[in-house]
Amino acid sequence: MKTKLLALSLVLASGSVKAASFDFEATPTGFYAGSLSVTDSGLTLTVTPEGYPNGYVAVNGDSTPAPLLGNRAVIGTQVEHPNIDQFAPLRFTFSSPVNSATFRFGDTGGDSDTPVIISAYDSSGTLISTINDTYDFGVATGKSDVYSGAAASYFILTSQPADNKDSIFWEAVDVNPAEARVPESFSTAFGLLAASTGLLSLRRFRR
- Are 131 and 144 within 8 A, CB to CB? no
- Are 90 and 22 within 8 A, CB to CB? no
Fold topology of 18-178: Jelly Rolls (2.60.120)
197 or 69: which leads in pLDDT: 69
Question: How big is the CA angle at 97 (ends 135 and 148), to the nearest 5 degrees?
Answer: 45
Query: What is the CB-side half-sphere exposure of residue 110 using CA atoms within 13 A?
Result: 0
**Predicted local distance difference test score (pLDDT) of residue 162:** 72
The answer, yes or no, to whether residue 130 has pLDDT greater than 80, is yes
**Predicted local distance difference test score (pLDDT) of residue 16:** 53
The band of 183, judged by pLDDT with boundaries at 50, 70 and 90, is very low
Q: What ranges do the domains of the chain cover? A: 1-17+180-207, 18-178
**Predicted local distance difference test score (pLDDT) of residue 181:** 44
Average pLDDT over residues 176-197: 54
**Predicted local distance difference test score (pLDDT) of residue 110:** 77
Q: Looking at residue 178, what DSSP letter applies? A: P
Average pLDDT over residues 106-119: 90
Share of the chain above pLDDT 90, in %: 62
3-state secondary structure 51-94: CCCCCEEEEECCCCCCHHHCCCEEEEECCCCCCCCCEECEEEEE
- Are 95 and 173 within 8 A, CB to CB? no
The band of 156, judged by pLDDT with boundaries at 50, 70 and 90, is very high
Average pLDDT over residues 104-131: 94
Please state the pTM of the whole predicted model: 0.80
The answer, yes or no, to whether residue 83 has pLDDT greater than 50, is yes
Least confident of 51-65, 78-92, 128-142, 180-194: 180-194
